[in-house]
Amino acid sequence: MNFNRFILIWLLLGLSKSYAQDSIQSQLDAVKSEITDLKKIEKSHFMIRGFTQFGLDASSEDLSFNMTSFNPIILWRHGDRFLFESELEMEYMSNIFSLNLGYASASYLVTKGLVIKGGKILIPFGTFGEKFHPSWSNKLASAPLGFGHDGMVPMADVGVEVKGGVQVGSAKLSYAAYAVNGPRIKDGTEEPTEAGMLSFENMNDNNRNKAFGARLGILPLQNSSLELGGSVYYALPGSFKSPFAGDPKLKDLNYNNVTALLTALDLCFVKIIQPLSGVLDIKGQYNVSKISNATYFNPSDTARYTFQNNASSYYIQVAFRPSLLDNKVLKNFELVGRYSVYNTPKKSLWESEQSQIQFGLDYWFTWRTVIKVSYQINNGTMGGSGMSSMAGMAGMSANVILFHIATGF
Amino acid sequence: MKKFIIPSIFVFTLFVCMLFFQNCTASKEAIANKSGAQLWGENCLRCHNTPSPTDFNDTQWKTIGLHMQDRANLTKDEADKIVTFLQSAN
């Protein structure tokens, strides 16, 4: 009797044990498959990212809050090679709201080291516009002189591009070549004081010529810490027809043969410096623009005039962040200084010589959330006449203290 | 005089580059053997602070990898190794 009972208990125990084992096993399997599902890389992937910057600019004349950027970015990847990227730029500065398409392009990785791109692309003329412009990576609250509105540097345009990176021995080459719609020369019919300036902000081309450009960068050191680059950009910015075609006295003024040649040199050195317990970050770009001579018309004194249409600008920025320190607060501070200069053509109605020094102290909460406090000293002399603000200065002429918070999301 | 500044800087840069090409063969292997973690440490701080592997999931890293390969002209080898590293360490 006892023996039978023992067998029964043994059987029951055995069964329940295997039942429990089974259920643990099946739970484990379910968890495993969930993990593999999570780990599985989706073939097609859609992502919204972006960045925003908000701040207060205080000068002796003015105190204003500015929403200097709210830029949502849409990324859509299909498979291993196709990427669509687009950025909307919203800005609220000096009481003006503007909405712009920063870029919208499709790129396809053809083979190792060759990407082809089409759409509205960021122009690889130097590095600032394409690589360092987002407000969460720009360590100062504004762009250097010469970039942005009424600047001399093309930032984005509609066209096609081939680009890539290749290893050549211990060095790395970074190349890009593109054809885009190109700029339009301001002929003075709309803004007489800006005659001869290039406008890069047109979605429709004004002629059948495209602008061509290329950049070649070299990273000579094995650890990629240094990059030196050279860029060229060539365009015929005039329209075929004279803008004064209807005016018998001025119809000989024509800009269809005007050529524009822009060149730039850029430098970027970023390296962890162990003895200083931090990262040293040096960036710079030098731009030259040469536009062939043309005759313009000044409606205020009805005289014709000409000038050597050469402009140049540069910036150099040095930053240091003691990110290797153990101190949890100190390691998030970053010191930054930038000097930039923008000289517009002498004897033009937009002649000016501007320089700007900016010192900043940043505090990084995360890798892309930052508070920037900076002091900006602007210097400028204007030649010409009738200009209300200096080209590329965004209306700021006095010294300014800027408090900004920028974040990527 | 000013006319010559840009061409001479270009020539100087090219010259410096040539010097670097000279001693390239010896280190070719060292470059091919670089790990994804090392490449991540060297490349991702050039334009912005380096994100940590835990900031994004595997699918997101793949998309970001392609985006940064394009934006930074990384070689395919670098981009692949960096993405594999980020996916394994998140």
Task: From first to last of the 409 residues of chain A, give the pLDDT tens digit.
Answer: 465 666 666 655 555 555 666 788 888 888 888 777 766 778 899 999 998 888 888 887 778 887 778 999 999 999 999 999 999 998 887 778 889 899 999 999 999 999 999 999 999 999 999 999 888 889 998 899 999 877 899 999 999 999 999 999 889 999 999 999 999 999 888 888 898 999 987 656 666 778 999 999 999 999 999 999 999 999 999 887 878 877 877 878 889 899 999 999 999 999 999 999 999 999 999 999 999 999 998 888 888 999 999 999 999 999 999 999 999 999 999 999 999 999 999 999 999 999 999 999 999 999 999 999 999 999 887 754 434 344 444 444 678 899 999 999 8
Q: Give the gap in angstroms from C-alpha A185 to the nearest C-alpha of chain B.
A: 24
Is B72 within 8 Å of A227 when comparing Cβ atoms? Answer: no
Q: Is the Cβ–Cβ distance between A377 and A358 less than 8 Å?
A: yes
Identify whether residues B51 and B90 lie together within a single domain: yes
Pairing of strands A400-408, A44-59: antiparallel
Our count of domains for chain B comes to 2
Same domain, residue pair B51 and B83: yes
Inter-chain contacts counted by CB atoms under 8 A, chains A and B: 135
Q: Do A168 and B21 touch (CB under 8 A)?
A: yes
By C-alpha distance, the chain B residue nearest A215 is B73
- The residue among A354, A315, A312 whose CA lies nearest residue A336 is A315
Asked if residue B85 and residue B66 are part of one domain, the reply reads: yes
Q: Which residues pair with A40 in a beta bridge?
A: none
Give me the architecture of the A40-408 domain, per CATH: Beta Barrel (2.40)
Instruction: Please report the pLDDT score of residue A336 as a whole number.
Output: 98
Contact B28 A265 (CB under 8 A): no
Write down the residue that tokens 């890009």 correspond to: A176
Q: Using a CB-CB distance cutoff of 8 angstroms, which residues of chain B are in contact with residue A175?
A: 73
- Calpha distance A370→A398 (Å, rounded): 25
B66 and A265 in contact by Cβ < 8 A? no
Q: Which domain holds residue B40?
A: 35-90
B86 reaches A (C-beta below 8 A): no
Tell which residue, A280, A181, A282, A183, has the closest CA to residue A228: A282
Is the domain of B81 the same as that of B55?
yes
| Residues A166, A188: Cα–Cα separation, whole Å | 45
Residues in chain B: 90
Q: Which amino acid is at A351?
A: E
Residue A103 and residue A86 in contact, taking contact as beta carbons nearer than 8 Å: yes
Smallest CA-to-CA distance from A142 within A356, A318, A388 is with A356
CB distance from B89 to chain A under 8 Å?
Answer: no
Closest Cβ opposite residue B9 in set A39, A77, A265: A265
pLDDT of residue B10: 65
**A170 to chain B: which residues are within 8 Å by CB?**
20, 23-24, 27-28, 31
Q: Is there a contact between B59 and A41 if contact means CB atoms under 8 Å apart? A: yes
| A339 min Cα distance to partner chain B (Å) | 19
The token duo for B5 is 């500044």
Judged by CB atoms closer than 8 Å, whether chains meet at A83 and B67 is answered as: yes
- Which residues on chain B are in Cβ contact (under 8 Å) with A164? 73, 75
Interface pTM, i.e. ipTM: 0.84
Sign of CA dihedral B71, B73, B74, B79: positive
Both B6 and B17 in one domain: the answer is yes
- Decide: A359 and A336 in contact? Cβ < 8 Å: yes
Buried b (16+ CB within 10 A) or exposed e, A282-300: ebbbbbbbebeebebbbee
CB-based contact A192:A299 (threshold 8 Å):
yes
B2 shares a domain with B20: yes
Q: Are A231 and A125 in contact (CB under 8 A)?
A: yes
Query: Which residues 29-48 of chain B have a CB within 8 Å of chain A?
Result: 30-31, 42-43, 45-48
Distance of CA B7 to the CA centre of its chain: 27
Together in a domain, B28 and B49 = no
- Do residues B70 and B29 share a domain? no
Residue A293 CA to residue A276 CA, distance in Å, equals 51
Q: Are A187 and A291 in contact (CB under 8 A)?
A: no
Note whether B20 contacts A221, CB cutoff 8 Å: yes
Closest chain B CA to residue A174: B73
Mean pLDDT calculated for residue range B44-68: 95
Query: What is the DSSP pairing of strand A82-93 with strand A63-78?
Result: antiparallel
Contact A171 B55 (CB under 8 A): no
Same domain, B19 and B53: no
Question: Residue A239, Cβ neighbours under 10 Å: how many?
Answer: 17
